[in-house]
Structure 1
Amino acid sequence: MKSYRHLFFDLDHTLWDFETNAHETLHQLYHDYDLGRHGTFSFEQFSDRYSEVNHALWRLYQANKVTQKQLRETRFLRTLTKLGMAEADIPADISARFTDILPQKSAVFPHTHEVLGYLRGKGYVLHLITNGFEEMQHAKLTSSKLTDYFQEIITSETSGCLKPDPRMFAHALGRAGANATESLMVGDNLECDVLGAYNAGIDQVYFNPAKRRHFAQTTYEIASLDELRGFL
């Protein structure tokens, strides 16, 4: 078994339960803005369409095809117009409200705190590497009480590039004072986390709680964070 010293974690969809937290936030917005009064779509349709639009925009953002500003300004406009809502009826501040409320949510994946505490107790140095926006990611870490587990918190804004760009992983290694051969990346995204780490010479753990079928080569694969105890 290879010996590791530095463990790098993704945040959204790996530790912080983005889907649960976003669903709660969207539910609050649906009721606060009384979006149901339009009578053309249910909350479930609103949530599903937002998820679809948001994922598509994030793919464009990670490919450097849209900016952070464009992503934030566009996702609710596209979501609600696709649901048949007139652009003039879309609340002007709904996107800002979403970014205010979302990072206050605290749901994390099962075993997150126990496993991070266990790993730190075993002497591993833990770091975070995320494509999320700087201010929001720090707020999420605070609300979910995750900040203190990590020595370095590396975001795409501070590094100037996005996973899977090898430069982001090189930046993270430099910040951590780590070598690629003694490091391990844990994340849910096959392209950004697994392939990105592989191309940077870093071993990977693919976090796949839905047990999605794939054909990627990964160093390790887990369906529960608790499985990290089996080899770390």
Structure 2
Amino acid sequence: MTYKYLIFDLDDTLFDFKGGEMAGLENVFMNHGFSSDLTQKAMAIYVEINRGLWAAFEKGEIEKSEIHETRFDRVLAQLGLSGDGLSFEKDYRQELNHNYRLLKGAESLLKDLQTAGYHLIAGTNGEAQTQHLRLEHTGLRPYFEQVYISDEIGVAKPNKVFFDIIFGENPAMSQTNTLMIGDGVASDMLGGQNAGLDTMWVNFKDLPTPSSIQPTYTVASYAALREVLI
């Protein structure tokens, strides 16, 4: 298969979102007076609650605002504590906005793909301000011809409409010359599948392949990705 267009997810595909998320959460809870042990417990609870909320959003079951308005309140409630969850959220947003971590080798990968003649497009769920800041401060923005963020276009992966918008603005793109690349099974792989695209699952953590979704390619490293595309 000859591809010309590559749609890249950002978080945990190119950005080290998880690493920055954990560091940011630790700072937030510690700054709000949590002990070290309580901070670790709160972080674990947050991860589970946040994952569930984002999964509900991606399925269209809740509005995105519910994620930001309730996740820290739910953490505090589960810990049996009172507090202003929105204050935690505000502080956490500042942490995320300054998370400029990249996965090792991400920029050189994009440079090689660009040199090889691919058209690179960023297609990501998330907050517009946060994602734009990351792209600018990590130096990745120049590699992407276009950037599509769910917060700006009003629909999130895996909804087919997310991809319809991208294709609508790029007449030369087709289902056969475009590849969706990302780490998210329920967002990137299912989204690409919904749009009729070949997909590449960036599986750095060696997770088992889900039975319900079969990516066209599965790669465990950027080196393996290069082998497929270059």
Deviations 1:40-94 (A, max 9, x none): x5221121111111101101111222222221011111112211212xx346521
For residues 61-210 of structure 1, the aligned pairs below 5 Å read 61-86=57-82, 89-90=83-84, 92-177=86-171, 178-210=173-205
Gaps of 5+ in 1: none
- Stretch of structure 1 that moved more, 171-180 or 181-190: 171-180
Instruction: Return the alpha-carbon distance in structure 2 between the equivalents of residues 103 and 168 of structure 1.
Output: 24
> Equivalent residue of 1:53, what SS?
helix
> Equivalent residue of 1:180, what SS?
coil
1:222 aligns with 2:193: no
Which letter does structure 1 place at the counterpart of 2:224?
E
Q: Provide the identity percentage.
A: 29
Instruction: With the length of structure 1 as denominator, give the TM-score of the two structures.
Output: 0.91
Instruction: With the length of structure 2 as denominator, give the TM-score of the two structures.
Output: 0.92
Instruction: Return the alpha-carbon distance in structure 1 between the equivalents of residues 186 and 39 of structure 2.
Output: 31
- Stretch of structure 1 that moved more, 130-139 or 155-164: 155-164
The structure 1 segments of at least 4 consecutive aligned residues displaced by more than 4 Å after TM superposition are: none
Deviations 1:151-175 (A, max 9, x none): 1111113332221111111111223
- Taking a change above 3 Å as real, the CA distance of residues 91 and 3 of structure 1, as seen in their structure-2 partners, is closer
The alignment yields a C-alpha RMSD, in angstroms, of 1.7
